[in-house]
Structure 1
Amino acid sequence: MNELTELSYALDTFYLLICGVLVMWMAAGFAMLEAGLVRAKNTAEILTKNIALFAIAGTLYLLVGYHLMYASPDGGVLPHLGVLLGGENGVDTVLAGGVDAPYYAQRADYFFQVVFVATAMSIVSGAVAERMKLWAFLAFAVVMTGLIYPVSGYWTWGGGWLAAAGFSDYAGSGIVHMAGAAAALAGVLILGPRKGKYGRDGSIYAIPGANLPLATLGTFILWMGWFGFNGGSELKVSDIGSANSVAQVLVNTNAAAAGGVVAALTVAKLWFRKADLTMTLNGALAGLVAITAEPLAPSAAGAALIGAVGGAIVIAAIVALDKLRVDDPVGAISVHGVVGIWGLLAVPLSNADATFGAQLLGIVGIFAWVFGASLIVWLMLKAAMGIRVSEEEEYEGVDLTECGMEAYPEFSVTGK
């Protein structure tokens, strides 16, 4: 390497690592969002899930997931089995954006990818909150992060058959977000709704979260972390073209989130006659999910419109799933699944290289695999160990039954 190439290598490696750190910070955002939207008696357990799933994702993706996703043949369906990252000499490199582009460290590539698989699994934790057994959830996380996600990831980012078919997903509206929602939906359907959520006469009862300031903080953390999620997916920043692309991606990401908030706030006011905070928070996340499939090609105004459509769609999706008695305490299936599909379908509107046919193929392929595989795993776990806590444990709260402690002990009445 000459001096200029070495500098580009160092810069691109550092950029990818810092973006990975930003995406890792999204784990804190998911934890705070979910902790704010569940009841006080279930807070410690949901926080335990979030930190444990991140550790499981880091371990399983290191052991098998990364190899499955990126060491398999181009255009294939079945990935190669293998373990670890390959050579352990610390100098392995991968191409950053093409044959003539600078290189960056393979370890940086792994680190950037592992935080994505953790994000997909974080989506599941909120949807199954308040009634799932902790250890059943963690067992599913092993399979999700070590096998289910890497296989569909190989089909797409790993150069498999969906990539060969022309499927386009810049930063993961489908590969990460819809996949997480598909796994969550399979679990929710088997798990059933929380007690008291739906009446026998078809009534729907709201179950408010315990800490909306915490949920709002979590949303802001996710918004911030998303700049690494989308910006890092450019994979390099060491030349003028890439630097300009990164700037456009960050502007569009922010514009889409803002559009999602404005649209969700407006729709909530028109629909419910109130400025619903939880719907507004989900509007921000919906805007971010919607733009993730293609944050580079649209103009800033176009990105804001894509995000605004996502912000409107998410409210309709949350209401519709409630009517179908699909109980999702945080709205994760609507935000990441329904809006993830919208984001994928919006790609051809600004990217001339993408086609609706290829996008539909990718949506069906990823959803069918993740939902089907997850359904099988959830059913196996249900048969082997059970996945739902007892009615009494659900009433008392899973903090005490699963963790033996409470997040807000001052709310409890204790004897001397």
Structure 2
Amino acid sequence: MAAEPTAKSNQIAIDTIWTLLAAFLVFFMQAGFALVEAGFTRAKNTGNIIMKNLMDFSAGSLIYWAVGFAFMFGAGNAFIGSKGFFLTDSFANLGLEIPLMAFWIFQAVFAATAATIVSGAMAERTNFSGYLIYSIVISGFIYPVVGHWIWGGGWLSNMVDFAGSTVVHSVGGWAALAGAIVLGPRIGKYNQDGSANALPGHNLLMAALGVFILWFGWFGFNPGSTVAGTDLSIGSIAVTTNLAAAAGATLSMVVSWIKYGKADVSMTLNGALAGLVGITAGCASVANIGAILIGALAGIIVVFAVEFFDKIHVDDPVGAIAVHGVCGAFGTAAVGFFALDGGLFYGGGLSLLATQLKGVVSVFIWAFCLAYVLFKAIDAVIGLRVPEEDELSGLDYSEHGAVSYPDFLLTSSKGDA
């Protein structure tokens, strides 16, 4: 006969259900990333993008179960966890009240998010086998080590990064930067005089739907990081999350309108994502006005960051480096100014800001340098970039033997569909 429910058992049940619901919302963000990336790139690579987003979650889940979660949350030292591989430990060090498996699935979808960010910056020219190797390494080691430093009791545990502006987004963004540098730009992107050519994505509607799905999923990403449905701060976290996204979209629209004479659709979409990434660190620590300012500044920054990387010939088809790397770093640092407890603008002095900046710089060095070495190694061993003829004809056929739009004729000249 089942035991009678108590106040405590009801609390654990509610917290468990909330954590699982949040995990399912974050999982749905994989669909958002796939749509954004596919929409912002050319039709001839759509199937390849679908496969990358599917397989970085699939392969990443397996390696995160085997070793990544232990590196991130297992008992160990200030650098890395060393116990609990294959979920064989109870992880008593975490002090969980919800079941370990509920916590694991929530963390696994976060790991998948960090991995999938890189796909967009490396789109349209990456060897699929090389991408799979990268996905396994970032999910199994590069990301979990950073997670251990900040969330697993490591040497940066006094840093404020509530839901992962740095742990998740900057790790993915800086790895994306390394990948884009090693790969080089797409054929036809830059001219001999250094000027850039537009290689328009094939479906803005698809990209917009992806952004709406990501915005929706972020209500699991940020409020879900309480891992407690009985923690009523989930309401205020949802509000700060939404306000920052709205401000990011609005300001990026305004800036693009001023700069280009038109309200740019892709910039505005990335502005919403920039606001979401920016607020993720401080969503539980700032007031509503602070969230609006963080989102607005992120929406401005992303426009100039996209242009900057284009000027230095780092070809990022979807703006992932600017959105996740730059705005993730900005949002983490912004906590040092806007946090109600310890922020510079609230009388807290420079201590928190210094801590935040130390974390931002340390994670950049770790994620960028390791990813750069990894991509160089992949390139040396199996080749990271597809042959020129495959890039021109599209990766759908050359990598997967399929065509995403068989009812339409896709040509294969420079700058084509």
Instruction: Report the Cα distance in structure 2 between the residues aligned to 1:65 and 1:170, rounded to whole angstroms.
Output: 20
Aligned counterparts of 1:275 and 1:79: Cα–Cα separation in 2: 48
In structure 2, the residue matched to 1:100 is none
Match of 1:29 among 23, 27, 32: 32
Name the residue aligned to 1:294.
282
Alignment of 1:248-267 (within 5 A): 248-267=236-255
Instruction: Spell out, residue by residue over 1:42-76, the C-alpha distance to the aligned partner (whole angstroms, 9 max, x if none).
Output: 111011100011101111110100011111336x1
Could you tell me how far apart the structure 2 residues matched to 1:50 and 1:116 are?
14
Q: Return the offset for 1:296.
A: 1.8
Q: What residue in structure 1 maps to residue 187 of structure 2?
A: 195
Contact (CA 8 Å) 2:72, 2:80: kept in 1 or not? Answer: no
Alignment match, 1:385: 382
Q: Calculate percent identity across the aligned residue pairs.
A: 45
* Structure 1 residue 82 displacement after superposition: 4.7
Q: Distance between the aligned counterparts of 2:182 and 2:139, measured in 1?
A: 20
Equivalent residues in 2 for 1:308-347, closer than 5 Å: 308-347=296-335
2:283 partner SS: coil
Distance change in 2, residues 1:10/1:82 (3 Å):
closer
* Candidates 71, 75, 78, aligned match of 2:74: 71
CA distance in 2, matches of 1:291, 1:413: 40
Q: Tell me what 2:61 maps to.
A: 58
* AA aligned opposite 1:375: Y
The structure 1 segments of at least 4 consecutive aligned residues displaced by more than 6 Å after TM superposition are none
What is the aligned partner in structure 1 of residue 368 from structure 2? 371
- C-alpha spacing 1:93/1:365, structure 2 compared with 1 (3 Å): closer
Change (3 A) 1:413 1:382: closer
Residue 39 of structure 1 is matched in structure 2 by 42
User: For 1:175-214, what aligned pairs fall within 5 Å after superposition?
Assistant: 175-214=167-206
Matched-pair contact (CA < 8 Å) for 2:73–2:94: no
SS of equivalent to 1:132: coil
Is the aligned partner of 1:80 residue 2:68? no
Q: 1:168, 1:84 → 2: CA distance?
A: 29
- The answer to which of 351-360 and 219-228 deviates more is 351-360
The partner residue of 2:166 within 163, 166, 174 is: 174
1:83-102 residue CA offsets vs partner (Å, 9 max, x unmatched): 111258xx989535xxxxxx
Distance 1:221 1:36 in 2: 13
Match of 2:134 among 112, 130, 140: 140
Shift of 1:305: 1.5
TM-score (ref. length: structure 1): 0.93
Letter in 1 for 2:296: A
Question: 2: distance between equivalents of 1:187 and 1:297?
Answer: 33
Q: Secondary structure at the match of 2:98?
A: strand
- For residue 409 of structure 1, give the secondary structure of its aligned residue in structure 2: coil
3-state SS of paired residue (2:407) = helix
TM-superposed CA distance for 1:412, in Å, is: 2.5
Please state how far the C-alpha of 1:184 moved relative to its aligned partner.
0.8
SS in structure 2 at match of 1:412: coil
Instruction: State the match for 2:51 in structure 1.
Output: 48
The one-letter code sitting in structure 2 at the alignment partner of 1:79 is: G
Alignment partners' CA distance in 2, 1:78 and 1:105: 23
**Alpha carbons of 1:386 and 1:366: their partners in 2 closer, same or farther (altered >3 Å)?**
same
Match of 2:349 in 1: none
Match of 1:158 among 149, 152, 156: 152
Alignment of 1:89-100 (within 5 A): 95=95
The letter for the 1-side match of 2:408 is F
Work out whether residues 71 and 80 of structure 2, in 8 Å CA contact, stay in contact via their aligned partners in 1.
no
The separation in 2 between residues aligned to 1:172 and 1:33, in whole angstroms, is 20
Q: Which amino acid aligns with 1:70?
A: F
Which letter does structure 2 place at the counterpart of 1:8?
Answer: Q
Q: 1:81 to 1:199 in 2, by over 3 A?
A: farther
Kindly provide the CA deviation profile for residues 179-236 of structure 1, in whole angstroms up to 9, marking residues without a partner as x: 0011111111110000110111011111100011000000000000000000111121
Question: Who is 1:109 aligned against?
Answer: 103
Structure 2 gap segments, 5+ residues each: 344-351, 412-417
CA distance in 1, matches of 2:239, 2:81: 36
Instruction: List per-residue Cα deviations over 1:267-318 (Å, max 9, x = no partner).
Output: 0000011111000000000000010001122222221121010000000000
Give the equivalent residue in structure 2 for 1:399: 396
Aligned in 2, Cα 1:348/1:93: closer, same or farther, shift over 3 Å?
closer
Q: 1:316 to 1:196 in 2, by over 3 A?
A: same
Structure 1 vs Structure 2 CA RMSD: 1.7
State how many pairs are aligned: 399
Looking at structure 1, the residues matched to 143 and 285 of structure 2 have their Cα atoms a distance apart, in angstroms, of 26
The DSSP-based 3-state class of the residue aligned with 1:389 is: coil
Question: Any idea what SS the aligned residue of 2:188 has?
Answer: coil
Gaps of 5+ in 1: 97-102
Which residue is 2:348 aligned to?
none
* Alpha-carbon separation, structure 1, partners of 2:93 and 2:53: 31
> What is the letter of the counterpart of residue 138 of structure 1?
L
In structure 2, relative to structure 1, the CA distance for the partners of 1:289 and 1:364 (3 Å cut) is same
CA distance in 2, matches of 1:78, 1:298: 30
